[in-house]
Homo-oligomer: A and B are copies of this chain.
């Protein structure tokens, strides 16, 4: 990541200029997201922040995440039933490993060609997108595929390699 420190300070400044108070809890939540590379869930953020603030409530995490989301400071990424949070607001595709559940990013340019070509005939005006590509990451392929997550079995059932 680029200069994460400066980036964090910039986000903090945005919070303040929008009239929000800068509490220790909010700082902790924001920096957890900014320094994380795993697109954490609310629960994961809560666990991490609770290491420093044992009294923090999950409700506070959710409230703060909604503030950050509505200010356009973090992006929400919905994955089968629960939300993950992404510090990167630029729309970009995600690669989701069905075995280790890792979520990787793909560069945003990947999408632009397709969207222009594909949408030109539909009359649809695209504003943003949500792309998830499910499969096996390089590591999990290397380890062999015999142990695919049974939770993902229903999804795999209906899939063919694309």
Partner-contacting stretch, out of A6-14, A35-43, A46-54, A118-126: A118-126
Work out how many copies of this chain go into the complex.
2
Q: Known contacts A78-B78, A78-B81, A80-B78; decide if A91 and B159 are in contact (CB<8 Å).
A: yes
Q: Is the interface of A mostly helix, strand, loop or mixed?
A: mixed
Can you name 15 extra interface pairs (CB under 8 A) apart from A95-B119, A104-B122, A128-B155?
A75-B158, A110-B114, A111-B114, A115-B133, A122-B138, A123-B141, A124-B133, A126-B162, A127-B159, A127-B161, A129-B134, A129-B162, A130-B131, A130-B133, A130-B134
10 closest A-B pairs (Cβ-Cβ)?
A123-B138, A128-B159, A72-B158, A126-B135, A110-B118, A127-B135, A114-B114, A130-B132, A129-B133, A125-B136
